[in-house]
């Protein structure tokens, strides 16, 4: 716990008489003022603009501060970074942060901010003058309302986290104006409708988290324009339609999770992504046979369970030497189990509830 006291108790005593006197009299120290809890010290003892005029970095994350985020922080005009993550701050986010023109980092995640009200995210619009802001996190709070369209004005943003709130409505189409974005985390809200078709304009995006929402519609084909995309998490939504063939153009994709949706058709485009490490399309309505695994030599996790796949399991799966997990249960696979003896890294193999024969298992 950081100590932010401006006063310190004096523990020295005063002595009357000579230092070597046998009868010196000690005067007890003056009574000490009551110790206030750190959150009260933070609120009442600092006027950040006046007391700390040169403050550039203010990081107090992972503590037990309560109350509101001090509005006086906005008086410290040199501030470049504010990080109060994982405390117990409540109430509104100060709109006065708009005056922090040098601000680059604002991290207020995992507190108890917001009241699940429509104007909870008003502070986002107030940040449009913070033209240097490249990191914004207000994840893990109680923010309600819709994501403001003004989010698109924060053009310097590189990483944006607003997961695990109570944000409703659609994902703002203005988000495509954040051309420098490399990470977008929208998981665990109450977003409905579809992902904007123009999402592919975020050509620098590396990581996208859309899972655990109520998103509908088809997966935008423009994802194929994201040449830097490495992680795409879209599970546990209500996506429909087929896998867009354009996804095969995501040559850097490592982790793909589209499980627990309502997708159909085949998965052939995905089997062409040679970079894939994790491939999870479980719990959908995919049909047809599995194509060759020859392009998936780096694959570690392969999950296609709880679909409607049929046909033989390709023998080429036995050449994916990095495989650790194979989940193929609850389908209609048939024929013989391929030769898997070379898969020495394999830890989990589930082929239950199919129509296969055991030959070549060992």
pLDDT band at 359 (very low <50, low <70, confident <90, very high): low
Give 53's pLDDT tier (boundaries 50, 70, 90): confident
Please enumerate in sequence order all residues whose Cβ is within 8 A of that of 262, keeping only pairs 6 or more positions apart, or say none.
Answer: 238, 239, 240, 284, 285
The tokens for 247 are 């996804």
The mean pLDDT of 348-357, rounded to a whole number, is 94
The whole-number pLDDT of residue 52 equals 85
3-state SS class at 248: helix
Tell the burial category of 122 from Cβ atoms under 10 Å away from its Cβ (0-12, 13-18, 19+).
Answer: middle
Does position 203 have pLDDT exceeding 80, yes or no? yes
Which region, left, alpha or beta, applies to residue 310 given φ > 0 means left and ψ of -120 to 50 means alpha? beta
- Report long-range pairs for 183-186 (Cβ below 8 Å, ≥24 apart): 183/158, 183/159, 183/207, 183/208, 184/160, 184/208, 184/209, 185/139, 185/160, 185/161, 185/209, 186/162, 186/210, 186/213
Average pLDDT of the segment spanning 333-352? 94
Q: What is the pLDDT of residues 67-91, one digit of tens each?
A: 999 888 999 999 999 999 999 999 9
Enter the pTM of the model.
0.85
Tens of pLDDT, residues 207-264: 999 999 999 999 999 999 999 999 999 999 999 999 999 999 999 999 999 999 999 9
Among the residue ranges 41-55, 263-277, 293-307, the one predicted with the least confidence is 41-55
Between CA 91 and CA 97 the distance in angstroms is 15
Q: What is the DSSP letter of 342?
A: T
- Listed in sequence order, the residues at least 6 apart from 328 whose beta carbon sits closer than 8 Å to its beta carbon are 302, 304, 305, 309, 313, 350, 351, 354
For residues 142-155, give the mean pLDDT. Answer: 96
- Give residue 17's pLDDT: 27
**Exposed, middle or buried: residue 20 (CB in 10 Å: 0-12, 13-18, 19+)?**
exposed
* β-bridge pairing 14-16 and 25-27: antiparallel
Work out the pLDDT band at 309, boundaries 50, 70, 90: very high
pLDDT of residue 257: 98
Give bridge partners of residue 287 from the DSSP assignment. Answer: 308
CA atoms lying within 13 Å on the CB side of residue 51: 12
For 278, half-sphere exposure in the C-beta direction (CA atoms, 13 angstrom radius) is 11
Mean pLDDT of 294-301: 96
The pLDDT of residue 15 is above 60: no
Residue 146 CA neighbour count, 13 Å, CB half = 12
DSSP-assigned letters across all residues of 151-214: GGG-TT-SEEE--SS--EEPPPGGGGG-TT--EEE--SSEE-SPPPGGGGG-TT--EEE--SS-
Distance CA 109, CA 248 (A): 35
Torsion of CA 175, 180, 183, 184, to 10 degrees: 0
């Amino acid at each position: 716990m950081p100590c932010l006291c401006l006063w310190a108790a004096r523990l020295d005593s005063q002595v009357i008489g000579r230092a070597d006197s046998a009868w010196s009299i000690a005067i007890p120290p003056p009574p000490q003022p009551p110790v206030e809890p750190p959150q009260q010290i933070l609120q009442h003892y600092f006027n950040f603009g006046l007391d700390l005029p040169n403050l550039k970095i203010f990081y107090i994350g992972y503590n037990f501060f309560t109350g509101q985020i001090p509005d006086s922080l906005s008086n410290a005009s040199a501030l470049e970074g504010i990080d109060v993550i994982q405390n117990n701050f409540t109430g509104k986010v100060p709109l006065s942060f708009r005056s922090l023109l040098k601000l680059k980092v604002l991290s207020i995640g995992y507190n108890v901010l917001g009241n699940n009200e429509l104007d909870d995210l008003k502070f986002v619009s107030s940040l449009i003058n913070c033209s240097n802001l490249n990191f914004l996190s207000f994840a893990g709070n109680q923010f309600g309302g819709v994501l403001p369209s003004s989010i698109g004005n924060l053009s310097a943003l590189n990483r944006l986290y607003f997961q695990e709130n109570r944000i409703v409505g659609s994902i703002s189409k203005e988000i495509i104006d954040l051309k420098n974005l490399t990470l977008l985390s929208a998981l665990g809200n109450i977003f409905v409708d579809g992902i904007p078709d123009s999402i592919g304009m975020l050509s620098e995006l590396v990581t996208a988290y859309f899972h655990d929402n109520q998103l509908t519609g088809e997966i935008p084909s423009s994802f194929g324009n994201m040449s830097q995309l490495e992680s795409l998490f879209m599970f546990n939504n209500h996506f429909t339609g087929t896998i867009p063939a354009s996804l095969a153009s995501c040559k850097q994709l490592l982790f793909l999770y589209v499980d627990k949706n309502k997708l159909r058709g085949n998965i052939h485009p995905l089997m062409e992504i040679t970079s894939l490490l994790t491939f999870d399309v479980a719990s959908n309505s995919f049909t047809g046979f599995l194509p060759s695994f020859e392009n998936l030599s780096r694959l570690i996790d392969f999950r296609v369970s709880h679909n409607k796949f049929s046909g033989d399991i390709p023998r080429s799966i036995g050449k994916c030497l990095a495989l650790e997990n194979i989940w193929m249960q609850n389908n209609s696979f048939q024929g013989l189990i391929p030769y898997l003896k070379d898969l020495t890294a394999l830890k989990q193999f589930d082929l239950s509830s199919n129509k296969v024969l055991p030959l070549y298992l060992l």
